[in-house]
Structure 1
């Protein structure tokens, strides 16, 4: 191919595909300049404030919010899918032991693969839309059971079997701790899960769609998404944001600690977002949730937020740097008794529903996602030297 032909064929795009539209979607959108995002036609934050997790799951799967009767039926149907097959349960101790040094997301990747194999999930290319939807429901319902069982096994504890009489969020906390959570904490975690179900074509969602475009099975797509989420630039910030609060320690250390790191070019975890140019609406909602609990930790977090935003405005004029979802997510999850190593897995327990909706949508399109790279290495061909 000549250089002129290559120039005519290739389409140069920004690094990281920033701002590049790659497809159409009916699932939702993020309007970064407005500080607004939605699932289908509804404000995601309003959904988190007013509806339960299962209702929003129904919205993403079926395209509409259920009435009370349909919502109860969907909740019961998905709750019945929480229990793991016996062959998966038998494999989990070995998975937990092998993943001890790699963390919960590595264990989740393997656990999902075992589940997919045990269930005999077939490529989405080979099955009809109803079967694809059933596969996503099976996988999503099993994720909290997998995550909590692997976590407990890693701590030398027996897994706690799921309960069908509890909501998605309450059951997750119950399986994690072994105790039925109080309604306020269960609701706080539920609001967090709803607020993070979907958020545009982030790295993990796009990864799931790329794999779905090959016609692979649902679990293969989800495992790829979990792999993308495990990167610290994507899903690892909630615990790191709490680490920042711990490192600052006291109000008098806020300014010097932040100034030193900003001037050194370091990133302040929990602040700034790749899309939002105003306050992250998820952060605003979770700040309200945290304030309902109150206490010194929340008061300190609010003060850190106020001071850090002022310092960032001074040192980085012209840039809108506010708290993102991870900052108050960490505070809320800590208040609800979640250990830090389970913050990102908890995010995954909600986002798996959004990934699945994107997998289903992508499976409707038979065109594989196959971009190209511009070769910039040594000129070819060069004769291979003799051995």
Structure 2
């Protein structure tokens, strides 16, 4: 390397901006889909408070909002419900291979199987790269892919339990049909509504790891299923989507209320993370957790009482051991409680999260596809100075 090239490279390194680890707080694009205001304890989908949407609208209404940019009127509502319900059935070619996918991925569970099954669906459906489609074509592909995700997840779960998959019904809304396909029994309306509110509350949540992954893939012009499959892979990590069951596992490990403080104190002192507490964005109460706590308290019972007591005591203890830090329950804590009360097996907690988040991913994919600029960041090299002589044996 010449002296001039060396000086140029050094100048580039010096002028390159410092980037926080994990890109925390770095703005990478503009979006009209939603945002999270961590200091306020508030998040929204489009222009609406997400928690208010969960309280007052259906899952399909919010799905329509995310994909079309507006809440539907009565006629649009009925049309969208019928249209998406008609897309739930799987291609005949998939039914014969799902048992093999279930067996192959049984150690990891339905979410791992979904990556393979959804990829196969995309191939069978002949989805085109988003780069080659117009807006309507992209939306059609996104709706088709999202509609089959609950069908695939529940079929993979049931096959793993030695049970036959349950065919989707077109007369049930999204959440109720999901529970029906999971259990084979039409769900109690109260439990179906509780799961629907949970699903709505987790459709989207800013530029999290899985959403960003989906958008990066969309920026390459790949097809919708390729983007969703990458997002699913990111969600499968325990630091992202894998915590609802772990929060309940902590309750099981504690066992009784008198063991809460010693159990938590031991883990905090050891530097362990308390699953279900703390959030990288919120510096106050997580609004999703507050909503889900209200839903759980509506059911009542020993599990809810134990969870509420644990929340209070853990927050007190964390305030004592980590003064100056705001550490509260996050969405996973009461999400696990609500799903347990509604009869979902713990192995389906994160897949259920995925059944909601796939809608937010699709909205982000559509938005990203409208701008064909590929996402291509740079990395700061920090290894041994090059070029070094290549050793010769």
SS of 2:285's partner is coil
Partner of 1:34: 40
Q: Distance in 1 between matches of 2:58 and 2:161?
A: 31
Question: What does residue range 348-359 of structure 1 map to in structure 2 within 5 Å?
Answer: 348-359=354-365
SS of 1:37's partner is strand
Q: Distance in 1 between matches of 2:301 and 2:75?
A: 39
Q: How far 1:266 moved relative to its partner? A: 0.7
The answer to whether the aligner puts 1:86 opposite 2:92 as a matched pair is: yes
Segments of 5+ residues of structure 2 without an aligned counterpart are none
Two-structure CA RMSD over aligned residues (Å): 0.9
Q: Distance in 2 between matches of 1:151 and 1:114?
A: 17
Q: How far 1:384 moved relative to its partner? A: 1.8
Partner of 1:122: 128
Aligned partner of 1:264 among 229, 245, 270: 270
Q: How far 1:9 moved relative to its partner? A: 5.5
Q: Distance in 2 between matches of 1:189 and 1:68?
A: 23
Query: How many correspondences in the alignment?
Result: 387
Q: Distance in 2 between matches of 1:40 and 1:327?
A: 26
Instruction: Identify which range, 33-42 or 368-377, moves more after superposition.
Output: 368-377
TM-score scaled by length of structure 1: 0.99
Partner of 1:184: 190
Deviations 1:290-315 (A, max 9, x none): 01100011011000001000000111
Aligned partner of 2:146 among 95, 119, 140: 140
Partner of 2:51: 45
Q: Distance in 1 between matches of 2:202 and 2:16?
A: 35
Partner of 1:241: 247
Deviations 1:297-338 (A, max 9, x none): 101100000100000011101000000000000000000000
Q: How far 1:77 moved relative to its partner? A: 0.4
Aligned partner of 1:6 among 5, 12, 28: 12
Partner of 2:218: 212
Partner of 2:378: 372
SS of 2:53's partner is helix
Partner of 2:231: 225
Aligned partner of 1:299 among 295, 301, 305: 305
Q: How far 1:8 moved relative to its partner? A: 5.6
Deviations 1:242-281 (A, max 9, x none): 0010011111101111111111111100000000000000
TM-score scaled by length of structure 2: 0.97
Q: How far 1:66 moved relative to its partner? A: 0.7
Partner of 1:193: 199
Q: How far 1:12 moved relative to its partner? A: 2.1
